[in-house]
């Protein structure tokens, strides 16, 4: 077999009581109003992400420049160059096959169409432009349920969509990698490319969230600072 990328990584194919307990505790806390599903998602996203990705800048540029948006939708690989990502000439590995296929499709949302990305067969992800995939993206829970109950799964991420919005799930099963180009939110009129880039967080690019003014990947959450020595003191 020469296709490293095609061989599904082993995964834990059963639901444990601990997984259920984690979700149950979280959902009860949400039900009781201790926090919202969306707040929780933002917090989780923050834990993994350091600053905006090149894909976020691609989106900001597309919002500002209709010609660039056309290019992005028609040829994601060409459009990536403008944000410093060369899919073809700088693959992450130089051994065997290029470990990332070079066909990026940028899925454009509209006010009545919302895209969300999954890979049901393994966990294909547009790494060159979006970095490593989050843990939850690789779980059987997400991969199995998103294609079948997308609205249920999105609401677990705190995203409720009205019935008039069509959901389109993109299942990345072959050589195309997907990212979402969300709708530019109201309240961002006159913003610069840098400002817009900040609100296009990783989850918006996967499609489980939508950008909002004030919600950025550089948000200053209290988790980052003083908590460190205490939080990570569990290891023996």
Partner 1 sequence: MAKSDSKELGSESMGQEADVTTIPVLEEVRNHGKVWEELAAQYGVTNPDPPWKVTMDATCDILAADSNVVPHAQVVPGSCALPLLERRIEEDDLSTTIYADVPFPERQLLALAHSMIRHGLINEEELARQMEEVGRRLKSV
Partner 2 sequence: MSTKSHHDRNHHASIATGIGDPQCFKGKAGKPKFKEGDSVRVKDLPDLFYTRCQVYPRGAVGTVTKLVYESPAAEDEAWDNSENPEWFYSVAFKQKDLWPEYSDAFPNDTLETEFCERWLEKP
Residue 113 main-chain phi, psi, to 5 deg: -140, 125
Task: State how far the Cα of 46 lies from the Cα of 42, in Å rounded to an integer.
Answer: 6
Query: Is there a catalytic annotation at residue 204?
Result: no
Among 1, 2, 3, 13, indicate the residue that binds partner 1 (CB under 8 A): 13
Name the minimum Å distance from CB 164 to partner 2.
8
Residue 18 burial (C-beta neighbours within 10 Å; 0-12, 13-18, 19+)? exposed
- 134, containing H or E segment: none
Q: Pairing between strand 113-118 and 166-171?
A: parallel
**Which residue's structure tokens are 């693959």?**
91
Name the minimum Å distance from CB 181 to partner 2.
15
**Residue from 105, 18, 95, 11 nearest 55 by CA:** 105
Number of residues that bind partner 2 (CB under 8 A): 35
Enumerate residues 177-236 that contact partner 1 by CB under 8 A. 221-223, 225-227, 229-236
Site string for partner 1, 37-76 (x = CB under 8 A): --xx--xx--xx----------------------------
Enumerate residues 88-147 that contact partner 1 by CB under 8 A. 134-136, 138-139, 141, 145
103 counts as binding partner 2 under rule CB under 8 A: yes
Q: How far is CA 137 from the centre of its chain?
A: 8
Q: Which residues bind partner 2 (CB under 8 A)?
A: 1-3, 6, 77, 87-89, 94-98, 101-103, 105, 120-121, 147-148, 150-151, 163, 166-176
Which residues carry out catalysis? 119, 122-124
């Amino acid at each position: 077999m020469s296709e490293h990328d095609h061989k599904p990584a082993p995964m834990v194919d059963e639901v444990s009581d601990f997984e259920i307990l984690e979700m149950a505790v979280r959902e009860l806390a949400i039900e009781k109003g201790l926090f919202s599903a969306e707040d929780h998602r933002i917090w989780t996203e923050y834990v993994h992400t350091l600053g905006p990705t090149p894909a976020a800048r691609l989106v900001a540029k597309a919002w500002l420049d209709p010609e660039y948006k056309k290019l992005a939708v028609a040829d994601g690989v060409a459009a990536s160059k403008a944000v410093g990502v060369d899919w073809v000439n700088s693959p992450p590995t130089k051994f065997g096959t290029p470990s990332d296929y070079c066909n990026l499709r940028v899925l454009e949302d509209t006010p009545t169409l919302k895209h969300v990305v999954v890979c049901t067969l393994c966990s294909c992800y547009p790494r060159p432009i979006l970095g490593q995939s989050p843990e939850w993206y690789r779980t059987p829970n997400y991969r199995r349920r998103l294609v079948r109950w997308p609205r249920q799964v999105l609401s677990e991420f705190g995203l409720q969509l009205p019935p008039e919005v069509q959901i389109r799930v993109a299942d990345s099963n072959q050589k195309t990698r997907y990212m979402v180009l969300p709708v530019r939110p109201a309240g961002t009129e006159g913003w610069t490319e840098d400002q817009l880039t900040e609100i296009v967080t990783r989850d918006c690019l996967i499609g489980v969230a939508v950008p909002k003014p004030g919600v950025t990947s550089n948000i200053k959450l209290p988790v980052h600072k003083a908590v460190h020595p205490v939080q990570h003191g569990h290891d023996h």
